[in-house]
Amino acid sequence: MEVINKSDNSTTHTIYHGDNTQVMSRFPDCCVDLTVTSPPYDDLRTYKDSLKWDFDVFKGIAEQLYRITKQGGVVVWVVNDKTHNGSETGTSFKQALYFKELGFNLHDTMIYHKSGLTMNHNRYEQDFEYMFVFSKGKPKTFNPIKVPCKYPEKQRKGTFSETEESARKARSGKQRKPVGTEKIKGNIWYYAVGKNHSTKDEEAFDHPAIFPEKMVADHINSWSNEKDTIFDPFMGSGTTNKMAYLLGRNSIGIEKVDDFYSIAKNRIEKSKPEPKIIEDDLGDIFK
């Protein structure tokens, strides 16, 4: 198992080349603030025949995630279902219920809406994936993304417009506080995917299923603070780790496939000029 530890003056970034179940078993309890990851979707991809993936394997990973997540920490689990013999498997929901059995709260069921998908012509087009947000207790961090109100001049409750209500309040001698111009973003997030959208890193597209960098950044900003530790046990092309680095967080990633590990390592190395690369056993983050 190869371990690369990358550190600058403020954060530490450790990636493991190995099997995630074996590597995670060596992590100490309660060492991760936020996990942003996407497991294999049923058997839709074999990832170069590198892994066995079934519900028993999933359970082992979910159990380790519960053990290593800090109290108040969050796991963002991006997943979808295979369609077999005309029926979706429902594996996503089965996994979500198991996370709850372990003790996680299902804090939110979010939707990742993707543009530019191919058509299947047999049903309404599948243009989203689930983003289950699990928390170990109450999330210790929530930095909500704000968006402009579509109708800031209107009240959020009631039937009066701002002008009518202000006039009424003025007549009664009571002035109403102005309605805000921003609100918390909804839980359906829209992202363009594909080249020049998900990332500008050409090599990332040698992986068959990459995250949009903006989506990962939005989750990292929402559920963590600077210097927190971000984890991805299915590191793939390294998007979670790259974005954690750029956003001033520590990060840990695990990838088994040689080619994907190399892609992730290169993307993290290139994220800032002349990074310092150190080989270590388990990385400073565990000392």
| HEC-encoded secondary structure of 162-225 | HHHHHHHHHHHCCCCCCCCCEEECCCEEEECCCECCCECCHHHHHCCCCCCHHHHHHHHHHHCC
pLDDT at 269: 81
132 strand-pairing partners: 77, 109
Q: What is the mean pLDDT of residues 1-15?
A: 71
CATH number for 2-145+185-286 (one of 3.40.50.150, 1.10.238.10, 1.10.10.10, 3.40.640.10): it is: 3.40.50.150
Residues 6+ apart with CB under 8 A from 60: 21
Distances 163 to 153, 170, 180, 263 between C-alpha atoms, Å:
8, 10, 15, 57
* pLDDT at 202 > cutoff 80: no
Mean pLDDT of the chain: 80
Instruction: Output the six-digit token pair for 241.
Output: 């780790």
Q: What is the dihedral of CA 267, 279, 31, 208, to 10 degrees?
A: 30
From first CA to last CA, the distance across the chain in angstroms is 19
Question: Of 80 and 275, which is predicted with more confidence?
Answer: 80
In tens, the pLDDT along 15-66 reads 999 999 999 999 999 999 999 999 987 765 554 555 677 899 999 999 999 9
In tens, the pLDDT along 95-147 reads 999 999 999 999 999 998 887 656 666 778 778 899 999 999 999 999 999 99
pLDDT at 172: 62
Whole-structure pTM value: 0.80
> What number of residues does the chain have?
287
Give residue limits of the domains in the chain: 2-145+185-286
In tens, the pLDDT along 148-179 reads 988 765 544 544 455 566 556 655 655 555 55
Q: What kind and span of H or E run contains 15?
A: strand 12-17
